[in-house]
Structures are given as structure tokens and as C-alpha cells.
Amino acid sequence: MGKFDGKVIIITGAAGGIGKVTAQKLAEQGASLVLVDLKLDAVEAVVAELGLEEGKALALQANVANENEVQAYVEATLDKFGKIDGFFNNAGIEGITANVEDYPTDVFELVLNVNVKGAFFGLKYVVPAMKKQGYGSIVNTASGAGLIGSPGFVGYNSSKHALIGMTRVVALETAPFGVRVNAVAPGVINTRMMRQIEKNTVPQDAEGARKAFGAAVPMGRYGEAEEVANVAIFLLSDDSSYVTQSIYTVDGGQMNQ
């Protein structure tokens, strides 16, 4: 019997590295999954690759920065499964690397729209369902960048600082209703996003940037998507029943040096 048997979990950014691995591990533990991403074919490919049963999986396309589309994926979940036990509020983008005076306004707005408004909309529509149930666990994907300053990342860092603040506020608002809200804060993780950040940071030597990022971690390496997924799954599970308003760094010790 799996730890998530009978439970319904929504994952946004489900076609990305961390989202996909989390989906796989939750499915192995019996969860029914609602997988949301910007491109339907990408999330349908995840369903097919993981061999998810039709009755236990729902693939949905949504731009999380669009409030109507977020409301629609929440309503589709409730229509199919009747409840939401867990919500992995995971979708996000990195933006570009540039000092503030050179950072394009439209890119800054895009990063905040996806990473802040997208997370906010998810909370806005998932929280009422969980409050009505009297239980639920929400995990936001923040970042170590939400705890420090990183030159060249004014868009991304600002968005993740905002998400950490949002996590703490909503955790306090929902605690009396049996709903828990926490965040994972990954450091440098071996995913597509870090490949892009490496290219953005040192276009002429992305491999050199990768080595430098890894060397800055006390554990001396990048983390893997599975290592973030393991923490997110703990927070989604009943094993963390007395944990809320917490920010879990998954960064090899980097943020606490």
C-alpha cells in the first residue's frame, strides 16, 4: 500500500525536471495526479512515459500567469476527483542574466507574472477547496535565490523573495483550517533551467560556468531533481503533519555558509 494511495495531487510545471520526477515518485506511491504545464503535448508525454492510468491522471494545459486558466485547472481537478489533497505549486521561469540597468522591463514583468502571479493564482483557487475539506498540503517551489542576492538575477531573485513571503503569509492564514503551506528552496540543480542559466551567465563558456557554480557548493556538486522531489514529497505527505510556514533549502549547504 502506497503512502499516497487515494490522494490527489496537482503539479504545475509538470513537464520540467523537478515536476516530472516528483510526478513519477508520487505515482509510484499511489497518488492520482493532475499534471499541468504550458504545452499540452509535453505533459501528455509525461503521462505516457510514466505509464499513468487514465483514471488516476489528468493532463492539462495552462499558462499559470493567466488567472482564468488557473481557475480552470483547479475546477477540472475537482470535477474529476472531487478533492485536492496536495498542491505542488512548482511552475517557474528563470528570465535572463543582466544588471538592473540593462534588464529589459518586459522580461522582468514576464518573470514576475509566471513566478509570482502564477503561484498566487494557484493559491487563490486551491486554498478555498482545501479549507472546505479541512485539510491539505501546499508546497511552493521557491529557490535559494529567494534568500540571497545574486548579481545579474534581479528578475528571478525578486520573484523568489516574493514567493517566500507569500508562503509565510498564506501558511498563517490557512493553519486554523488544517491546511499546511511550505516551500522548497533549491540551489543549483541539474536541470534544463540551470543549463540556460549557465549559458546566460557566461555565453562563451557555459561549461566553465557550470564548474564554477558547482564548486561554490559546500558539497561540491549540483543537486539532482530527485533530491528536490524527495523533500517536496515529504512536505506533501502526512509525515510532515506538524510542519507549516517552513522554507526547506535543498542546496548542499550553499545558502547557510
Alpha carbon separation from 45 to 15, 37, 222, 241 (Å, rounded):
8, 11, 26, 33
Question: Per-residue pLDDT for 257 more than 70?
Answer: no
Q: Is the pLDDT of residue 207 over 90?
A: no
Q: What is residue 188's predicted lDDT score, i.e. its pLDDT?
A: 81
What's the mean pLDDT when you consider all of the chain?
A: 93
Q: What fold characterizes domain 8-187+223-251?
A: Rossmann fold (3.40.50)
Give residue-wise pLDDT tens across range 153-174: 999 999 999 999 999 999 999 9
Region of poorest pLDDT, from 95-99, 163-167, 233-237: 95-99
Q: Respond yes or no: is residue 242 known to be catalytic.
A: no
Per-residue pLDDT tens digits for 10-65: 999 999 999 999 999 999 999 999 999 999 999 999 999 999 988 999 999 999 99
- The domains of the chain are located at 8-187+223-251
Place of cell 510542519: 243
Catalytic one of 73, 103, 156, 248:
156
Distance CA 117, CA 12 (A): 13
What is the model's pLDDT at position 189?
83
